[in-house]
């Protein structure tokens, strides 16, 4: 499974989701692993498409049954990569993209060191704050918390195989595509 894993992380609001969507639209050889989460569904999201929205109890059950490749607590909710999701897609010959938080990426680094690890960074924290504000999904306290977390995440970027600074979506996508195609 290792050679088929591409782990992408970076601060909330950095544009990971936009870059991953463009990568998936570019080629059918890539597949997104849909994470499970205990957080509330946001407007416009669909269960089974954006995330598997599950209860705390179901999340605990999956932890006990070794149902996650990784899981982490982030911003008051838990997120995890379902082992069954990844195994199903790799059996089909797809290269599975994990769009996950830093703690989860670190778990995958230990369990699957052959995976590719990509960190998406913002040009600076002010740009990141502006993107979070424009997204309109978090209040001021949540944005402050996400910026604090982003500082910690950015400090860990040297742990990754490659760091892409997302200051221009198209240019960043080309860098991401070129890197993934070179694997």
> Residue ranges of the domains in the chain?
2-182
- The residues near 12 (Cβ < 8 Å, ≥ 6 apart) are 75, 132, 146, 149, 150
Q: In what order do the strands lie in the sheet with 68-74?
A: 52-53, 36-37, 77-82, 68-74
Token pair recorded at residue 163: 């760091």
Q: What is the pLDDT of residue 163?
A: 98
What is the per-residue pLDDT for 113? Answer: 85
pTM: 0.86
pLDDT value at residue 129: 94
Regions of the chain with pLDDT less than 50: 1
Q: Give pLDDT, residue 1.
A: 44
Contact 1, 110 (CB under 8 A): no
Predicted confidence at residue 31, as pLDDT, reads 95
**Locus of tokens 């950015």:** 154
- The reply to whether CATH 3.90.420.10 applies to domain 2-182 is no
- The kind and range of the H/E element at 68 are strand 68-74
Written as six digits, the tokens of 88 are 């199903």
Q: Are 97 and 23 in contact (CB under 8 A)?
A: yes
Nearest to 108 by CA among 123, 122, 118: 118
């Amino acid at each position: 499974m290792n050679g088929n894993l591409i782990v992408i992380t970076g601060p909330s609001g950095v544009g990971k989701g936009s870059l991953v969507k463009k990568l998936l639209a570019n080629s059918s050889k890539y597949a997104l692993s849909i994470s499970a989460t205990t957080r509330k569904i946001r407007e416009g999201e669909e269960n089974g498409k954006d995330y598997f929205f599950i209860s705390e109890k179901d999340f605990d059950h999956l932890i006990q049954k070794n149902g996650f490749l990784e899981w982490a607590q982030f911003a008051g909710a838990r997120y995890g990569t379902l082992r069954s999701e990844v195994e199903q897609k790799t059996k089909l010959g797809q290269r599975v993209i994990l769009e996950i938080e830093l703690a989860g990426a670190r778990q995958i680094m230990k369990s699957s060191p052959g995976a590719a690890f990509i960190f998406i960074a913002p040009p600076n924290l002010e740009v990141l704050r502006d993107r979070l504000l424009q997204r309109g999904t978090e209040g001021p306290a949540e944005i402050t918390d996400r910026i604090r977390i982003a500082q910690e995440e950015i400090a860990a970027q040297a742990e990754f195989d490659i760091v892409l600074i997302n200051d221009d979506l198209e240019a960043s996508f080309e860098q991401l595509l070129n890197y993934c195609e070179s694997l």
